[in-house]
Amino acid sequence: MSWQSYVDTNLLGSGLIHAAILGIDGSIWAKSSGIDLKQSECSGIAQGYKNKSFVETGFVVGGKKYMVLKSDDRSVYSKLSTCGAVAVKTKTAILIGIYDDKLTPGVAANVVERLGDYLIDNSC
Query: If DSSP codes are grouped into helix, strand and coil, which group holds residue 99?
Result: strand
DSSP string over 30-48: EE-TT----HHHHHHHHHH
Q: What number of other Cβ atoms are within 10 A of residue 72's Cβ? A: 11
In angstroms, rounded to a whole number, what is the distance separating the alpha carbons of residues 104 and 56?
25
Per-residue pLDDT, 114: 98
pLDDT digits (tens, 9 = 90+) for 20-64: 999 999 999 999 998 999 999 999 999 999 999 898 888 899 999
Query: If DSSP codes are grouped into helix, strand and coil, which group holds residue 29?
Result: strand
CA dihedral sign, ordered 100, 90, 43, 53: positive
Where are the strands (E) in 4-122, listed by range? 18-23, 28-31, 59-61, 64-71, 75-80, 83-89, 93-99
Per-residue pLDDT, 58: 87
Per-residue pLDDT, 100: 97
In angstroms, rounded to a whole number, what is the distance separating the alpha carbons of residues 112 and 118?
10
How large is the average pLDDT for residues 71-86?
A: 96
